[in-house]
Structure 1
Amino acid sequence: MTGRPRRRTLTPRGRGFVGAGVVLAIAGVVLGFEDIVRVGVLLVALALLALAFARRPAAPLTVQRTVTPETVMPDQRAEVQVTFTNTGRRASSLYLAEERVDYVLGDRPRFVLPRTDAGGTREVGYVVRSQLRGRYPLGPVTLHQRDPFGLTSVTRTVDGVGELLVLPRVVPLGSSHPPGAGLGSEGETPQMVALHGEEDVSIRGYHDGDDLRKVHWPATAHRGELMVRQEDRPARRSAIVVLDSRESGHRGSGAAGSFEWAVSAAASIVVRLEELGYQLHLATRESMVAHTFEGAQGAAQLVHDLASADVGADLEFGQVVSHAHELVRLGGLVTAIVTPHDESLLGDLAAMRQPGAAALGFVLDTDTFAGAAGPTPQAAAVRDRLAAAGWRVVVVDARTSIPQAWATVSNRALVQVGSL
């Protein structure tokens, strides 16, 4: 967070002073006019003195940023408070400050940083907003200074970078839920996975034959009757959401691109599945590298992870599908958002659905996101292949909303799976 080495240069005015001074001095010598020589020497000396003055050690500054709120949704404004602290023994100079930010956040903020006494602080603020999700660095800040005559320019960079996290759009998916997520017999599907090592402890009244070592004395004292601990292993629904991030498969750019639709859909689905009580796993190229999809995570953390999702090589998605197979071998709901690209992976993807469990497929007709008229035969072929394996599938084009696609695959009135 200390300042980087400064760059000190003569401004165009300063170089003009030096050039004019040299010409006047030479002309004065040639013509024999001492006054002209003195003027020339004065101009050169003034520029050199200004440059020497600019070489003085600058007061050390540190910078700290506070972003409110720390995470935002697309198009939501965030306020950034930048605090400069003078850690030196003398006052700092007057600077023109420029904060370096990503172009999607808007123009680079510029502001005047007043003179700061030793040990003092100065605070400035600005507002940023992004239409696209992602992690955006804030800073470092560059300080510019000129002498009173405008002959020299000093530029220094103060280290220290903040961050703004823009989450993907999460849209409500209504009250519908996938097969096996209801009550009663629907909860007895392979989507119910026992969590070994966890204990669900409840308190109940004492029955004849109960182990006295399980008596819960605080509850007994409170109730006035013997109470014992009942320890059961809970059964929890498990779900995995697979995101196809093959760069060669996606079309379009920005918020209207197919990949952004896929990321927003994945974020909305994990939020809805958590509401239904599922344990969640997210299979993406990023989670595979970080080994984070092997353990269940909450929807909030997964949405944060999706903010950094990006497209990658085809080989990486093959590895994602291979690793995801290990998570669903004991059953669980599978949700996949895929592109109609490289049909060689379709067999492995279709096989992720376990017998008796549900699988939901969202096939992106990616050409429509680039302006083509749909539907395309490639997307229909992927749909039919997954449907033949027992998946509930919908083809998504650029006009399909996420709630519409979710309502289609979770429609309980469907008679023929996959004929959508």
Structure 2
Amino acid sequence: MLFVGSAVLIAATVVDRREGLFLFLFLVLLFTGSAVYVRTHRPRMSATRTFTPASVSVGEPALVRTVVETRDEDIAAIASWRDEVPPVFARTPSGELPRRLPGAVRGYRALLEYELRSGSRGRYFVGPFRVRHGDPFGLVTTERRIADPQPLVVTPRVTDLSDAGLRSASGDGAQHDLSHLTTQRADELIAREYRPGDPLRRVHWRQTARRGELMVRQEEQEGDPEATLLLDTALTTKGSAAGATSSLHFERMVELTASIGIHLLDSGYAISLVESATDAVPLADGTVPFRISRFASGDSGGFLETLADAERFPVPELYDVSAGLHQVIGRTGTVMPVFAVLGRVSQLGARRLASAKVNASPAVVFLTRSLETARARDVDELTTLSDAGWRAVLADEQTSVEAAWTRVAFGDATVAARGGDHVRR
């Protein structure tokens, strides 16, 4: 508008026409009046945003419903809206606000709907929600924020896993067994190592002979049985050969962890999720802080939302991936199913994890690797764990969740022809 007025003034000066000056003054006054109107007439608007469902899996759509409301009569100049979203959602939702119908009651209410779909898990903030309005002539417009950002949780993709003989937890107390994943007898699942003060009448002679150390019977507990999931959240760095080597590698590990966890929760197990590395302040030099999250049977929502926030963190060279696992099994003192999903692991890490087998039955470890960084030494760590009694699978980025689970549940000690995937009993 000011440019047009300036052009009119220049033209009027060149041709010496007074009418041009009057037109220039009129345009300036019109623009000024429109700007004052927009500044002083701010419709009292609000917006309420909801997500359906409240959290969504990777690749699945979330329906966003936003209700825009105002009690003001003067809404003719309200033109458009937009809801800011992170780049992961590809496009910014926007559009024209519906007009109020003639004869409608006082105020204004509009329902806006759109879908969001993400190919990456995480916690993303949708918003703020903004509306654009202006003067009745459309000369001046401004944008206002009328709703704050809200988090939308995108959880990992979950694959339905075959039953594999997982025993129902109903009324079984601490009965921890996966019949297809272990050949141990039921009474062998409730034995632990001897501790000073244990009465000799509780010595488990069969397990003592089998393990070569004094073992005692452990009394069963009431309540939901427990299982533990260990997720390797180390970030591979130049000085550390641990953890996932790429974002894609880590995402496959998270998907595998999510699928196993949901399978256990749906089967009646309470689970402890151990994230092996976090950004918390370490308690001592050289140690790596870990995080333990516990979920009651059936709490799939809380479990998946926790995995949605999982990240990788740098670790030192002498990194113990199983430190958090030892704390969990040390707290309970019971034998429980343990599933470990690891990236690259050192021989030291493999030996420390192997020592947890005494309290783990079945003990299952998935050693995942990137095809670009696959090493012959991976088989050495696999052997260390399998020799300690862990049922181990070596898989890569091309191994599907279902394939990895099938191999550990029903496989044998064969080497796959493609990809070098190993399954060891």
User: TM-score scaled by structure 1?
Assistant: 0.73
8 Å contact from structure 1 (residues 86, 92) kept in 2: no
Structure 2 partner of 1:380: 379
8 Å contact from structure 1 (residues 180, 189) kept in 2: no
Structure 2: distance between partners of 1:185 and 1:387: 16
**Count of aligned positions:** 358
Structure 1: distance between partners of 2:408 and 2:133: 61
- Aligned CA distance change for structure 1 residues 101 and 79 (closer, same or farther; 3 Å): same
8 Å contact from structure 2 (residues 8, 20) kept in 1: no
- Aligned CA distance change for structure 1 residues 317 and 181 (closer, same or farther; 3 Å): farther
Specify the SS of the correspondent of 2:293: coil
Structure 1: distance between partners of 2:380 and 2:229: 22
Specify the SS of the correspondent of 2:364: strand
Q: Give matches, 1:11-410, under 5 Å.
A: 14-21=1-8, 23-24=10-11, 27=13, 33-86=17-70, 91=75, 93-114=77-98, 119-147=107-135, 149-177=137-165, 180-182=177-179, 186-190=185-189, 234=222, 237-248=225-236, 249-253=243-247, 257-284=248-275, 285=277, 293=293, 296=296, 298-300=298-300, 301-314=302-315, 321-329=322-330, 330=333, 331-341=335-345, 344-354=348-358, 357-366=361-370, 368=371, 372=372, 375-410=374-409
Q: Root-mean-square deviation (CA), in Å?
A: 3.7
1:243 CA drift (Å): 0.7
1:184-224 per-position Cα deviation (integer Å, ceiling 9, x unaligned): 9743344699xxxxxxxxxxxxxxxxxxxxxxxxxxxxxxx
Gaps of 5+ in 1: 1-13, 194-231
Q: Aligned partner of 1:401: which letter?
A: S
- Aligned CA distance change for structure 1 residues 62 and 356 (closer, same or farther; 3 Å): closer
- Aligned CA distance change for structure 1 residues 43 and 120 (closer, same or farther; 3 Å): closer
Structure 1: distance between partners of 2:24 and 2:255: 68
1:87 CA drift (Å): 5.1
Moved more, 286-295 or 133-142: 286-295
Structure 2 partner of 1:209: none
- Aligned CA distance change for structure 1 residues 76 and 338 (closer, same or farther; 3 Å): same
Q: Aligned partner of 2:52: which letter?
A: T
Q: Aligned partner of 1:145: which letter?
A: H
Structure 1 partner of 2:199: none
8 Å contact from structure 2 (residues 2, 28) kept in 1: no
Structure 2: distance between partners of 1:281 and 1:317: 24
- Aligned CA distance change for structure 1 residues 130 and 412 (closer, same or farther; 3 Å): closer
Structure 1: distance between partners of 2:92 and 2:317: 36
Moved more, 77-86 or 140-149: 140-149
Gaps of 5+ in 2: 167-175, 193-219, 237-242, 281-288, 416-421
8 Å contact from structure 2 (residues 125, 152) kept in 1: yes
Structure 1 partner of 2:209: none
Structure 1: distance between partners of 2:152 and 2:249: 24
1:338 CA drift (Å): 0.8
Structure 2: distance between partners of 1:293 and 1:316: 25
Structure 2: distance between partners of 1:269 and 1:42: 73
Specify the SS of the correspondent of 2:178: coil
8 Å contact from structure 2 (residues 228, 272) kept in 1: yes
Structure 1: distance between partners of 2:78 and 2:290: 45
1:161 CA drift (Å): 2.9
Moved more, 270-279 or 389-398: 270-279
1:58 CA drift (Å): 0.6
1:324 CA drift (Å): 2.4
Q: Aligned partner of 1:95: which letter?
A: A
1:270 CA drift (Å): 1.4
- Aligned CA distance change for structure 1 residues 181 and 107 (closer, same or farther; 3 Å): same
